[in-house]
A = this chain, B = another copy of it.
Amino acid sequence: MGADSAGPIDEFGIPIIPNPVDVSQRKRQAIIDAAIVEFLREGYSAASMDAITSRSGVSKATIYKHFGNKERLFLAVIGGILPTTYADLEPWNSTIVEAVDLRSALITLTLDWTRILLRPDIMSLRRLVIGEIDRFPQLGQLWYRVSYDMNNGPLIEAFAELDRRGVLRVPDPALAVQQLVAATVGVPQLVRTFRPEAILEDAELTRMITSGVDLFLAGYTR
Contacts and interface: CB of A to CB of B under 8 A. Distances in A.
Nearest to A47: B45
B172 A182 contact: no
Contact of A131 (B131, B141, B218): B131
A187 interface: yes
A54 interface: no
Contacts of A131: 43, 127-128, 130-132
Interface residues of A, number: 46
A137 B123 CA distance: 14
A214 B172 CA distance: 14
A191 B45 CA distance: 25
B46 A197 contact: no
A138 to B, nearest CB: 11
Given A182-B190, A187-B182, A190-B186, A196 B127 contact: no
Contact of A187 (B46, B179, B195): B179
A37 interface: no
Contact of A196 (B42, B43, B134): B134
A176 to B, nearest CB: 9
Interface string A202-222: 000001100110111011100
A173 to B, nearest CB: 12
Given A183-B183, A215-B179, A194 B144 contact: yes
Nearest to A171: B211
List the 6 closest pairs (A to B, CB-CB), nearest first. Answer: A131-B131, A45-B45, A215-B219, A218-B219, A45-B46, A140-B194
26 contacts: A43-B43, A43-B44, A43-B45, A43-B134, A45-B46, A127-B130, A130-B130, A130-B131, A131-B132, A133-B194, A133-B196, A134-B196, A137-B195, A137-B196, A144-B191, A144-B195, A175-B207, A178-B187, A178-B190, A179-B187, A179-B212, A182-B186, A182-B187, A183-B183, A186-B186, A215-B215
